Amino acid sequence: MVSTLNDLAARLRNIPSRQWEAIAAAAGCTASLPRKVVYEPDRNFGVKTLAPLVQFFNDVDAGRRQMPPDVATPTTEGASA
């Protein structure tokens, strides 16, 4: 379970936090879960609580699902036109 939690937190840290809500909606979990996974690592999460996020990322990795559009598109902040 610790490894799963660490893996989820690392994956979410690589995505801008403003996009976590879209991921939560796509995964079918509460909007606050990604934030809690990243910022409350000592929290005692149940397996059923983390299951939607784990399954979502597994499905993305296997090509069965896609990241929400705003997450899949690289940000262009700071890019010159």
Instruction: With a cut of 90, say whether residue 72 has pLDDT above it.
Output: no
Nearest-5° Cα angle at 64, 28 to 49: 30
Looking at residue 73, its pLDDT comes to 52
Instruction: With a cut of 70, say whether residue 74 has pLDDT above it.
Output: no
Residue 28 CB contacts under 8 Å (≥ 6 apart), including other chains: 52, 56
Instruction: With a cut of 80, say whether residue 71 has pLDDT above it.
Output: no
Helix axes 47-62, 2-13, angle to 10 degrees: 60
Looking at residue 41, its pLDDT comes to 84
Taking residues 35-46, what's their average pLDDT? 93
Looking at residue 40, its pLDDT comes to 94
Instruction: With a cut of 50, say whether residue 81 has pLDDT above it.
Output: no
